[in-house]
Amino acid sequence: GAGVSQSPSNKVTEKGKDVELRCDPISGHTALYWYRQSLGQGLEFLIYFQGNSAPDKSGLPSDRFSAERTGGSVSTLTIQRTQQEDSAVYLCASSLRGLAQLSSTDTQYFGPGTRLTVL
C-alpha cells in the first residue's frame, strides 16, 4: 500500500519568509510525528499527534514553529519568519497506535522528507 508522502520534496526560501510543509500519513495510522534532520546530527523530534488528543509540542525549537493535523489525517508544519538555522530535512512519520500504550512498541514509518534551504 501507499507509504507516507511529503510535499514539497525540496523548498528554497528567503530568510524571513513563512513556509508550509505537508505530510500525508499511511491510511489508518492514528499517530503522526515530525522530526528534523540537520547535517551531521541525529533526528530531532519536533511534534507528535495522537488521534484527537492535544499534540505533544515539546520538541518544537521556538514559537516560530507550529503544526496542525486536520481530520486526523494530513498534517502541515509551518515555520514562520524562517532563519538560516532552520535549513534541514524535515521528516514525517506515522504509526498505527502511537506512544500511549506502555505494553507495546509501535513502529514508525517515515516519508521521504522535505529538504528546506533558507537563503
Partner 1 sequence: EDQVTQSPEALRLQEGESSSLNCSYTVSGLRGLFWYRQDPGKGPEFLFTLYSAGEEKEKERLKATLTKKESFLHITAPKPEDSATYLCAVQVAQAGTALIFGKGTTLSVSS
Residues lying near partner 1 in the complex (CB under 8 A): 4, 6, 33, 35, 40-45, 48, 56, 59, 91, 93, 99-102, 105, 107-113
Residue 43 CB, shortest distance to partner 1, in Å, is 4
8 or 16, CB closer to partner 1?
8
Q: Nearer Cβ to partner 1, position 27 or 41?
A: 41
Grid coordinates in use for 105? 512498541
Smallest distance, partner 1 to C-beta of residue 113, A: 5
Given the complex with partner 1, which of 18 and 28 has the nearer CB atom? 28
**Which of helix, strand or coil describes residue 16?**
coil
Q: What angle do CA 17, 80, 99 make, to 5 degrees?
A: 140
Burial track 10-19 (b if 16+ CB lie within 10 A, e otherwise)? ebebeeeeeb
In angstroms, rounded to a whole number, what is the distance separating the alpha carbons of residues 103 and 4?
25
Q: How far is CA 46 from the centre of its chain?
A: 7
Nearer to partner 1, 14 or 58 (CB): 58
Tell the smallest beta-carbon distance from residue 33 to partner 1 (Å). 6
